[in-house]
Amino acid sequence: MAGRVDLDGNPIKPMTICMIGAGGFIGSHLCEKLMSETPHTVLAVDVYSDKIKHLLEPTSLPWNGRIQFHRINIKNDSRLEGLIKMADLTVNLAAICTPADYNTRPLDTIYSNFVDALPVVKYCSENGKRLIHFSTCEVYGKTIGAFLPEDSPLRQDPAYFVLSEDASPCIFGPIEKQRWSYACAKQLIERLIYAEGAENGLEFTIVRPFNWIGPRMDFIPGIDGPSEGVPRVLACFSNNLLRHEPLKLVDGGHSQRTFIYIKDAIEAVFLMIENPARANGHIFNVGNPNNEVTVKQLAEMMTQVYSKVSGETPLETPTVDVSSKEFYGEGYDDSDKRIPDMTIINRQLGWNPKTSLWDLLESTLTYQHRTYAEAVKQAMSKTTAN
Ligand code: NAD
Ligand code: UDP
């Protein structure tokens, strides 16, 4: 850890980071790397701590004293301002961010992604503290190309689908498509943070993650989350594979996504944390444009990789089609395609993703199998016995 320097060769001073949402998927990976590779201190704020338990105990861990857990719901806790004041930097990850909630719990979604983030922005601005705020690639909504005729050659032109921070519009569906409650709330908090920067000098960075996936993402229904819960696609498909049931393709699985390995993405956040002069005032796409697949192709790849890591033969019919209304309920809609423009993050931080989709699926599904296969087997045999 000695002699660590930033991208401009300046020594990096140890800092205190108030991380809100530290107990979630991204937060757990960020905390892990901050503890093992830097001298920084983390004030970890969340309502849950299961995913960072291994970092908090026992007290003999080499980073003992550098991570403190604060069980705080930021909706209603006056301790938040004190923690932000104690820190040099606040990283805000807290959010409701599973699509199954956007159309079924739109009020909670809007409150969580906009209203609850307001005090965080205000305390940072009023106390002259730096803020790294997690937004989403979903603020882009649909691509311009989605509105072209199916057979238009322009659909192949990157100008109609590549999503760039400083040029692409944000295109959402009508209000009754409550899917967009999340994207719209995230867009408004981005605009507010940007305005705090412009009018009051807030030092901010906004991160737009493009489908970060890896170990510890979400939960497996009925094992470490509610039986009726619907997590994001990696956990939904993992759950199907663990239970030896067909993977459900929503509306045929035609939507396209680019998936990035959590460990690659965390490298980008590290560069932002430790290079404020290069990161402040910027909005960054963080994704892997080389890992694009349709959801149907993702299902096929995960089936193949899971068979390799578990030794189980795939089902003869590994996927089944399901309508979005049946799967998510009324008001669901979808982003058609998400390819991140990497120009700004390349120029400012020299960062590039490394891991291919095959490699990241292999390490992630190895983890899923090792962590959950036995518990799923036991839960299934209990259900059969009853
Ligand atoms: P996550 O759900 O695993 O983590 C969010 C954490 O915030 C959870 O641990 C939750 O308990 C905590 N939290 C929520 N409300 C809180 C409150 N009121 N008080 C205290 N803690 C609270 O999600 P994640 O995948 O780690 O995402 C983190 C951030 O990144 C979110 O803002 C999300 O919108 C954004 N994001 C992630 C992805 C991705 O690919 N994972 C994609 C787009 C955007
Ligand atoms: N999806 C699917 N089957 C599932 C879960 C999700 O076909 O079991 C689809 C979903 O409709 C979307 C894509 O997978 O098109 C990615 O969904 P995710 O929940 O990961 O989040 P998003 O990328 O839409 O934010």
Q: Which domains does the chain have, with CATH numbers?
A: 95-375 (3.40.50.720)
Atom of ligand 2 nearest to the CA of 255: 15
Reported as a single tens digit per residue, the pLDDT across 31-80 is 999 999 999 999 999 999 999 999 998 777 888 889 999 999 999 899 99
Reported as a single tens digit per residue, the pLDDT across 211-231 is 999 999 999 999 999 999 999
| Proportion of the chain in helix, strand, coil states, percent, rounded to 5 | 45, 15, 40
Is a pLDDT exceeding 70 seen at residue 2? no
Ligand 2 centre and the CA of 127: distance in Å? 39
Read off the pLDDT band of 3 (50, 70, 90): confident
Ligand nearest to the CA of 250: 2
- In eight-state DSSP terms, residue 171 is B
Ligand 2 centre and the CA of 137: distance in Å? 14
Kindly state the tokens that stand for 311.
């030794």
Is a pLDDT exceeding 80 seen at residue 304? yes
Residue 380 CA to residue 374 CA, distance in Å, equals 10
How much is the pLDDT for 59? Answer: 72
Please pick, among 182, 261, 306, 332, the residue that the annotation labels catalytic: 182
Read off the pLDDT band of 312 (50, 70, 90): very high
> What backbone torsions phi and psi does residue 173 show, to the nearest 5 degrees?
-85, -175
For 225, what's the count of Cα atoms within 13 Å in the CB-facing half-sphere?
Answer: 17
Atom of ligand 1 nearest to the CA of 74: 19
Are the beta carbons of 328 and 230 closer than 8 angstroms?
yes
Does the annotation count 182 as an active-site position? yes
Mutation choice for ligand 2 from 295, 325, 335, CB with most ligand atoms inside 8 A:
295
Are the beta carbons of 236 and 322 closer than 8 angstroms?
no
Burial class (CB in 10 A: 0-12, 13-18, 19+), 118: exposed
Angular region, 350: left φ>0, alpha ψ -120 to 50, beta rest: left
Atom of ligand 1 nearest to the CA of 138: 43
> What backbone torsions phi and psi does residue 130 show, to the nearest 5 degrees?
-75, 145
Reported as a single tens digit per residue, the pLDDT across 104-142 is 999 999 999 999 999 999 999 999 999 999 999 999 999
Reported as a single tens digit per residue, the pLDDT across 199-209 is 999 999 999 99
How much is the pLDDT for 58? Answer: 72
- In the predicted model, what is the mean pLDDT of residues 177-190? 98
How much is the pLDDT for 60? Answer: 73
Length of the chain: 386
Are the beta carbons of 211 and 283 closer than 8 angstroms?
no
Read off the pLDDT band of 355 (50, 70, 90): very high
Per the prediction, the chain carries an average pLDDT of: 97
Ligand 1 centre and the CA of 207: distance in Å? 13
- In the predicted model, what is the mean pLDDT of residues 380-386? 83
Whether the ipTM is more than 0.95: the answer is yes
- In the predicted model, what is the mean pLDDT of residues 171-184? 98
Residues 6+ apart with CB under 8 A from 144: 160, 161, 168, 169, 171
Is a pLDDT exceeding 70 seen at residue 286? yes
Ligand 1 centre and the CA of 110: distance in Å? 14
First-to-final CA distance of the chain:
55
Is a pLDDT exceeding 80 seen at residue 92? yes
> β-pairing, 256-258 with 292-294?
antiparallel
Residue 10 CA to residue 76 CA, distance in Å, equals 39
Residue 225 CA to residue 299 CA, distance in Å, equals 22
Read off the pLDDT band of 382 (50, 70, 90): confident
